[in-house]
Amino acid sequence: MEQIEAVADMIVESKKIVVFTGAGFSTESGVPDFRSPGGVWDTFDPNELNYQNFLSSEEIRGKYWRMHKMMWETIREAKPNAGHYAVTELHNMGKLDCVVTQNTDGLHQKAGVPDDKVLELHGTMQWVDCLECGQRYPRGDVHDKMLAGESVPRCDSCSGLLKPATVAFGQMMPQRETRESEVRSSSCDLFLAAGSSLVVYPAAQMPVIAKRSGARLVIFNLTPTPHDHHADIVINEKTGETLSRIVARAKEKLQA
């Protein structure tokens, strides 16, 4: 396919690649898009489970944790797919500046991208934070507390409220990650957006920032996005398989 050759050439020519991933990037790992029909939002009401209600109501906290228990049971066994490994390969080739992701499943790190190269715009399900003292717990440990009967788990050190380290509705986006993503997007030479419908702020503006700053932009998504007209190349195929073929081709070209 002509587009595969063209994107492989772009990778060969670039030095600082930002890879941006959304829910569609993890569906090939069996991680559902939790916002799509059939997801947890069919069972739970996202408006009710907002951050303010979480802080003020024990009943809402109970529901919130029930929802996150379901999500954790879905994602904890999830394995990185070909797309995640292709991104790791870009890192190994010295081409990756960073990954910016809307996903909270931790699969980029599981695939071997170092933690400090992954900017998680919506937080992570891999950790749980104490809202009082800031103590951080591995998600699996808190899951065990729930299995032992705590329906609303509390901090071991200070008994404060615990909350998954994901961004809830009504909760502020993480400032460092958001700012850092903007900076990296504006200084990369190639921006690969993969598996995101690019409609949610601040995700949607990153490809635009990159393009305006002179980077080349490639959008991989099964369906069209509102930013396709900014892109140098748009590929409406399964993201994991396609990216994997492209990175393999780029390696061949570099070794030739």
Q: Which two tokens stand for residue 168?
A: 């809830």
Q: Considering only residues 13, 35, 57, 133, which one is a binding residue for Zn ion as defined by CB under 5 A?
A: 133
Q: Considering only residues 4, 17, 130, 203, which one is a binding residue for Zn ion as defined by CB under 5 A?
A: 130
- State yes or no: is 91 an active-site residue: no
Q: For Zn ion, give the closer residue by CB, 135 or 187.
A: 135
Q: How far is the CB of 35 from Zn ion (least distance, A)?
A: 30
Q: For Zn ion, give the closer residue by CB, 107 or 130.
A: 130
Whether residue 243 contacts residue 24, with contact meaning beta carbons closer than 8 Å, is answered with: no
Task: Give CA–CA dist 101/168, Å, rounded.
Answer: 16
Q: How far is the CB of 173 from Zn ion (least distance, A)?
A: 23
Q: For Zn ion, give the closer residue by CB, 83 or 153.
A: 153
Task: Considering only the stretches 79-87, 129-137, 191-199, 201-209, report the one whose residues sit in contact with Zn ion under the rule CB under 5 A.
Answer: 129-137
Task: Give CA–CA dist 46/68, Å, rounded.
Answer: 12
Q: How far is the CB of 54 from Zn ion (least distance, A)?
A: 16
Binding of Zn ion by 135 (CB under 5 A): yes
Q: How far is the CB of 221 from Zn ion (least distance, A)?
A: 40
Size of the site for Zn ion (CB under 5 A): 8
141-200: contacts with Zn ion (CB under 5 A): 155, 157-158, 160
Q: How far is the CB of 154 from Zn ion (least distance, A)?
A: 8
Q: For Zn ion, give the closer residue by CB, 158 or 199.
A: 158
17-21 vs 190-194, strand pairing mode: parallel
- Return the amino acid letter for 180: E
Binding mask 10-49 for Zn ion (x = CB under 5 A): ----------------------------------------
Check 68, 108, 122, 227 and give the catalytic one. Answer: 122
Question: By CB neighbour count within 10 A (0-12 exposed, 13-18 middle, 19+ buried), where does 116 fall?
Answer: exposed
Q: For Zn ion, give the closer residue by CB, 162 or 231.
A: 162
**Which residues participate in catalysis according to the annotation?**
122
Q: Which residues bind Zn ion (CB under 5 A)?
A: 130, 132-133, 135, 155, 157-158, 160
